């Protein structure tokens, strides 16, 4: 019985060895895959392209992202997922883990685990929280004023300030929701301090993905000009923009420093034409 041949890739995608894919706004919006995105990913794999999923989303662990990818029809392996939580853990371990610094963490349970695994002592829920030596900020859906108050007090007392990223928003089915960058902006304004950001557009998270993929020419695909396209540029990589998330048609076509190598309505169009 003959097998159906995989669909051919566009000439753009044929010229790359690796594809680094954003998640929110690129592969999915909320709980639904973007149009034909699973088929596009299958075509990349069938053509021998190596894939990594690189995300600034702080709400889940790498294992949870793998489960979500499979549930939406995407084939994925754990080693292909590069999260900002992992980058955050690496940064904190290098800077603060050896001395077992205390940390006040705004974020999901996944982020709290990354901070603890970095060797820091999480003091959330204790009287010592306003005197924490490090404040870690990552957006989450249950944010309350008390978290802002404690983090501000710790920062004003001299705590180091580390953020999981600066994305202003992320796309959901009912429109854009505030992301980690909105939280970080509030804390920076309240404290007069500037956070060290470890997520996109910082180049380290892309370098982590490329270390796993090996040598070859890589394309970054995402929906944001600031974090995806800007991060690709900072890492010395080409970037393409899809219009299923944060960036409008006019914004994408106006981008010039850097300019995307391609703009497409969605991932399937970019990959398959």
Residue 43 has pLDDT above 90, yes or no: yes
Q: Assess whether 22 carries a catalytic annotation.
A: yes
Average pLDDT over residues 1-20: 85
Average pLDDT over residues 24-52: 96
Q: Which among 68, 70, 74 has a CA at the least distance from the CA of 110?
A: 68
Residue 257's φ and ψ, nearest 5 degrees, are: -140, 75
- pLDDT for 59 equals 84
Q: Which among 193, 196, 166 has a CA at the least distance from the CA of 182?
A: 166
In the chain, % of residues over pLDDT 70: 99
- pLDDT for 3 equals 60
Q: Assess whether 57 carries a catalytic annotation.
A: no
Which pLDDT band, with edges at 50, 70 and 90, does 2 fall under?
Answer: very low
Is 93 within 8 Å of 118 (Cβ atoms)?
yes
Residue 1 has pLDDT above 50, yes or no: no
pLDDT in tens, 149-200: 999 999 999 999 999 999 999 888 999 999 999 999 999 999 999 999 998 9
Q: Which of 17, 22, 36, 141 is catalytic?
A: 22
- pLDDT for 4 equals 66
Site of tokens 């970054």: 220
This prediction has a pTM of 0.85
Site of tokens 């075509």: 43
Q: Which of 24, 223, 228, 238 is catalytic?
A: 24
pLDDT in tens, 109-121: 999 999 999 999 9
Contacts of 107 (CB under 8 A, 6+ apart): 58, 115, 136, 137, 138, 139, 140, 164
Q: Which among 6, 36, 7 has a CA at the least distance from the CA of 267?
A: 36
- pLDDT for 60 equals 86
Higher pLDDT, 262 or 60: 262
- pLDDT for 7 equals 81
């Amino acid at each position: 019985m003959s097998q159906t041949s995989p669909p051919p890739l566009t000439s753009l995608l044929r010229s790359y060895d690796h594809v680094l894919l954003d998640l929110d706004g690129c592969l999915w919006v909320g709980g639904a895959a973007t149009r034909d995105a699973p088929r596009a990913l299958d075509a990349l794999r069938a053509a021998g392209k190596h894939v990594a999923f690189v995300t600034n989303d702080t709400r889940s662990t790498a294992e949870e992202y793998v489960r979500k990818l499979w549930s939406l029809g995407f084939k994925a392996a754990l080693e292909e997922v590069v999260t900002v939580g992992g980058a955050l853990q690496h940064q904190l371990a290098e800077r603060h883990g050896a001395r077992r610094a205390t940390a006040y963490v705004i974020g999901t349970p996944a982020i709290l685990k990354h901070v603890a695994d970095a060797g820091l002592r999480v003091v959330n829920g204790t009287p010592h929280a306003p005197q924490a030596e490090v404040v870690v900020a990552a957006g989450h859906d249950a944010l309350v004023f008390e978290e802002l108050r404690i983090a501000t007090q710790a920062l004003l007392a001299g705590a180091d300030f580390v953020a999981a990223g600066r994305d202003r928003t992320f796309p959901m089915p009912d429109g854009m929701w505030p992301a980690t960058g909105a939280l970080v902006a509030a804390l920076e304004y309240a404290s007069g301090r500037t956070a060290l950001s470890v997520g996109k557009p910082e180049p380290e998270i892309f370098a982590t993905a490329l270390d796993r993929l090996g040598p070859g020419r890589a394309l970054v695909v995402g929906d944001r000009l600031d974090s995806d396209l800007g991060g690709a540029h900072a890492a010395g990589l080409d970037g393409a923009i899809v219009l299923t998330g944060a960036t409008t048609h006019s914004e994408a076509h106006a981008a010039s420093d850097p300019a995307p190598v391609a703009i497409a309505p969605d991932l399937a169009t970019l990959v398959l034409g």
